[in-house]
Amino acid sequence: MALLEVENLVKHFVAERSLLGRPKAFVRAVDGVSFTLEAGKTLALVGESGCGKSTVSRLVLRLIEPDAGSVRFDGQDLLSLDTAALRAFRRQAQIIFQDPYASLNPRMTVDQILSEPLALHDLVPSPRRRARVDELLRLVGLEPRLARRFPHEFSGGQRQRIAIARAIAVEPKLIICDEPVSALDVSIRSQILNLLRELQDRLGLAYIFVSHDLAVVKHIADRVAVMNLGSIVEEAEADALFAAPRHPYSRALLSAIPLPQPHAKRTTVLLEGEIPSALNPPSGCRFHTRCPFVVARCRTVPPELVADGTGHATACHRVAELPSADAILPAAGGFSPSLAKLVAAFSQKAEGAAPSGVGIQAARPTAT
Amino acid sequence: MSAAPLIEIEGLRIRFHGDDGRITHAVDSVDLSVANGATLGLVGESGCGKSVTSLAIMGLLPKQSAEVTGAIRFDGLDLLQAPDQILRDLRGNRLAMIFQEPMTSLNPSFTIGDQIIETILRHRGGSRRSARERAIALLRRVHIPSPERRIDEYPHKLSGGMRQRVMIAMALACDPRLLIADEPTTALDVTLQAQILELMRELKAASGAAIILITHDLGVVAEVCDEVAVMYAGEIVERAPVGELFASPQHPYTVGLLGSIPRLDHRAEQLATIEGMVPNMAQPPAGCRFAARCPFMREACTAARPPLVEVTPGHLSRCIRAPLELLVS
């Protein structure tokens, strides 16, 4: 049985009310989203701003209530839970946010931040909490002696480690990572991604990884769901999706990402026009206004998300007739042999040095 | 590059004097040059000094707190010595800049037309009507649909991608010789980013302007730049033609950066990480500034500041252990 089963989730936000308070316009943030997630696996939700990926992640945690649909976690229907049961569920599912500057209480020390969930869920008796906090900090690559410090004394990457420690403190089965590395510098990003993977292996965590960055998603996800304007347009194993994206929107997304490979030969699908608003999504297929393969039927009939025998699902009327998507990502990429050796040497030597991410300097930002 | 450079930066040093008397060394002896029609990528992580360098070129650093020394020669004129009046004539005219935040760099209380027309009238003069026509033509050039109507709209009516196009139209208003683009696509979605990058390539081909593109995204660099300068802790640590830099980087920091980005074009089980933190810029280390984080560090690295030396023709590195291939062969 899957850890998480989401079926036909719908959430419309009221955008405008009449004088009498009746809703006049809705933002159709999430419109019929279904997926499943196995224990210990990572599902990535990808798409551009406003596609509903963050809303889905909050619906799954019941941080906001859906208008329709169901969420089953470990076989249990989340929407039927009362307050006490919901609190128990929150022990099983945690979230890490994008901005590590906003998601930690500036008035609490790291020790307090990490002890709170332990106390709240009555997990560790108070005399042993300090030891558990030390252990959590070590797990995320921070020195236990930093526990008495406040969030402002840490860099962005270190704060994200603290947020991760807080999430794993309650030993959850599922962590929702909402753009966890988007606010971080490139070199810090790789540390956090490596850490998330390592923790998944060690603790058997399942992740829902919400991101707009497909390179990051390719690195971390087992399965990928591509969202456009509130619905999933394609869902597949990560390898299959990146090898041969089927939906025209997935192709456009992949081809839009600049590759760190000068003069790479690839097909580019440049989308024209703006992203339509979820306030007034196009009729039929919501991608039809920007789709290079649009036909009359696309403008009127919304396509269903249909899976083939391999579990690769696509919501497109013309999926069978589309040209092959070979050259969207160049096959031969990557490092020259000597550069690969150099990068390997760089990483190896670094491992022998200080443990990752520790050490703290006067947390004074540099001037730029 | 054969032609005489359009802009030549020599020994640029920028220090900030804080209220508490603390001095921050933001940029140290940066040498750069960009030829007409070339695109230089300035790459580095937050705080490395790349944006400050561009603000210095534009003369936009606060005079009270920023101490700028060295020379920035634009078409032979040293911008650091030039009087304000001359700088004002240059900015928005032959020197233009696009900022990262299209949401905050337009004035919300004027229509986009007013803002573009103001630039044209200030530098080119002429009638308001002809300036308006030029503004419409510019909006069309950056692919804004129905520019005759859009020109009278306020910035809040436009999406992020549209606003960035307006910023670009404004920057192009007087056919600049040098365009500085500071993270022009960072705030945008990828499909919009692709449109804007395509637009920049198109404009570069049409106008022959030189571009300095500041970014942290190595993918963007690979797609649009001819030459790259990598900055770390206020210094240029490597400079090379774009193909060279990605094929055989000669500074360990660049190696770390290339190894640490997840890539669509191949799969790494484990990403490289650059351990430790950037040095405190109030007291930058005397030797190599990357030494504390460098796995290839030797004692000599911390003794004296390594010079920027040519490893192969046109490829410069500030690492005494370059060429790095020798370390792994």
| pLDDT band, residue A368 (cuts 50/70/90) | very low
Interchain contact B45–A (C-beta under 8 A): yes
The single-letter code of the amino acid at B291 is A
Interchain contact B247–A (C-beta under 8 A): yes
Cβ–Cβ gap A365/B189 under 8 Å:
no
Backbone Cα Rg of chain B: 21
A interface test, pick of B43, B45, B166, B265 with most A CB neighbours within 10 Å: B265
How near does any CA of chain A get to the CA of B122, in Å?
A: 31
Rounded-to-integer distance, Cα A325 and Cα A309, Å: 19
Return the number of CB contacts < 8 Å for A and B: 215
The candidate with the shortest Cα–Cα distance to A41, out of A283, A227, A220, A286, is: A220
Q: Model ipTM?
A: 0.82
Q: What is the pLDDT of residues B176-228, one digit of tens each?
A: 999 999 988 887 788 888 888 888 888 888 888 899 999 989 999 999 999 99
Q: What is the pLDDT of residues B102-160, one digit of tens each?
A: 778 899 999 999 999 999 999 998 999 999 999 999 999 888 888 999 999 999 888 88
Report the DSSP beta bridge partners of residue B27. B14
The candidate with the shortest Cα–Cα distance to B253, out of B299, B227, B218, is: B218
Looking at the domain assignment, is residue A361 inside a domain? no
What percentage of chain A has pLDDT greater than the value 90?
A: 60
DSSP B259-272: HHS--SSS--SS--
DSSP H or E run through B163: helix B160-171
Interchain contact A83–B (C-beta under 8 A): no
CB B113 within 8 A of CB B132: yes
How near does any CA of chain B get to the CA of A67, in Å?
A: 28
CB contacts of A263 in chain B (<8 Å) are: 243
Q: Which of A:195-234 have CB within 8 Å of B?
A: 212-216, 218-220
Helical segments of chain A, H only: 53-60, 83-92, 110-120, 126-139, 156-168, 186-203, 214-220, 238-243, 248-256, 296-300, 337-352
CB B190 within 8 A of CB B198: no
CB within 8 Å of A122: residues ≥ 6 apart = none
Interchain contact B60–A (C-beta under 8 A): no
Looking at the domain assignment, is residue A368 inside a domain? no
| pLDDT band, residue A333 (cuts 50/70/90) | low
Q: Which of A:139-168 have CB within 8 Å of B?
A: 155
CB B281 within 8 A of CB B288: no
Domain extent for A96: 1-354
CB A43 within 8 A of CB A174: no
What is residue A350's predicted lDDT score, i.e. its pLDDT? 54
Residue of chain A minimizing CA distance to B191: A256
Rounded-to-integer distance, Cα A91 and Cα A39, Å: 15
Interchain contact A275–B (C-beta under 8 A): yes
Interchain contact B193–A (C-beta under 8 A): yes
Residue A354 has pLDDT above 50, yes or no: no
- Which among A216, A334, A346 has the least Cβ separation from residue B252? A346
CB B263 within 8 A of CB A217: no
DSSP A255-266: HHSPPSSTT---
Q: Please count the structural domains in chain A.
A: 1
Please report where in the chains the tokens 């900022």 appear, as a residue.
Answer: B99
CB B50 within 8 A of CB B228: no
CATH number at residue A6: 3.40.50.300
Name the 3-class secondary structure at B63.
Answer: coil
Tokens for A185, please give them. Answer: 């510098």
CATH of domain B5-99+176-328: 3.40.50.300
Q: What is the DSSP-derived secondary structure letter of residue A356?
A: T
What is the arrangement of strands in the sheet containing B23-35, beginning at the earlier edge strand? B23-35, B5-17, B66-74, B77-78
Phi, psi of A117 (to 5 degrees): -60, -30
How near does any CA of chain B get to the CA of A334, in Å?
A: 5
Mean pLDDT computed over B238-264: 93
Rounded-to-integer distance, Cα B85 and Cα B121, Å: 16
What is residue A357's predicted lDDT score, i.e. its pLDDT? 39
Residue B263's CB: how many other CB atoms inside 10 A? 24
What is residue A331's predicted lDDT score, i.e. its pLDDT? 61
HSE of B10, CA atoms in CB hemisphere, 13 A: 9
> How distant, in Å, are the alpha carbons of A231, B290, B321 from that of B28?
50, 14, 21
What is residue A355's predicted lDDT score, i.e. its pLDDT? 41
Looking at the domain assignment, is residue A364 inside a domain? no
Name the 3-class secondary structure at B27.
Answer: strand
pTM: 0.87
DSSP A52-103: SHHHHHHHHTTSS--SEEEEEETTEEGGG--HHHHHHHHHHEEEE-S-TTTS
B interface test, pick of A198, A268, A342 with most B CB neighbours within 10 Å: A342
Residue A361 has pLDDT above 50, yes or no: no
Looking at the domain assignment, is residue A347 inside a domain? yes
- Which among B216, B249, B263 has the least Cβ separation from residue A215? B263
Domain assignments of chain B as residue spans, ordered by start? 5-99+176-328
> How distant, in Å, are the alpha carbons of A13, A160, B31, B215 from that of A253?
26, 27, 37, 20
Tokens for B275, please give them. Answer: 């351990």
DSSP H or E run through B236: strand B235-241
Selected residue with higher pLDDT from B161 and A47: A47
Total residue count of chain B as it appears in this document:
329
Q: What is the pLDDT of residues B46-97, one digit of tens each?
A: 889 999 999 999 999 998 899 999 999 999 899 999 999 999 999 989 999 9
Q: What is the pLDDT of residues A146-171, one digit of tens each?
A: 999 999 988 888 999 999 999 999 99
Cβ–Cβ gap B260/A186 under 8 Å:
yes
Q: What is the pLDDT of residues B13-46, one digit of tens each?
A: 999 998 888 899 999 989 999 999 899 999 998 8
Tokens for B266, please give them. Answer: 């191949």
Residue A1 has pLDDT above 90, yes or no: no
| pLDDT band, residue A362 (cuts 50/70/90) | very low
Residue A353 has pLDDT above 80, yes or no: no
Show contacts of A321-328: CB within 8 Å, 24+ apart.
Answer: A322/A246, A322/A248, A322/A293, A324/A244, A325/A244, A325/A245, A325/A246, A325/A251, A325/A267, A326/A244, A326/A267, A327/A265, A327/A266, A327/A267, A328/A245, A328/A251, A328/A254, A328/A255, A328/A266, A328/A267, A328/A269
Interchain contact B285–A (C-beta under 8 A): no
- Which among A194, A216, A336 has the least Cβ separation from residue B273? A194
Cβ–Cβ gap A252/B191 under 8 Å:
yes
The candidate with the shortest Cα–Cα distance to A59, out of A102, A4, A121, A124, is: A4
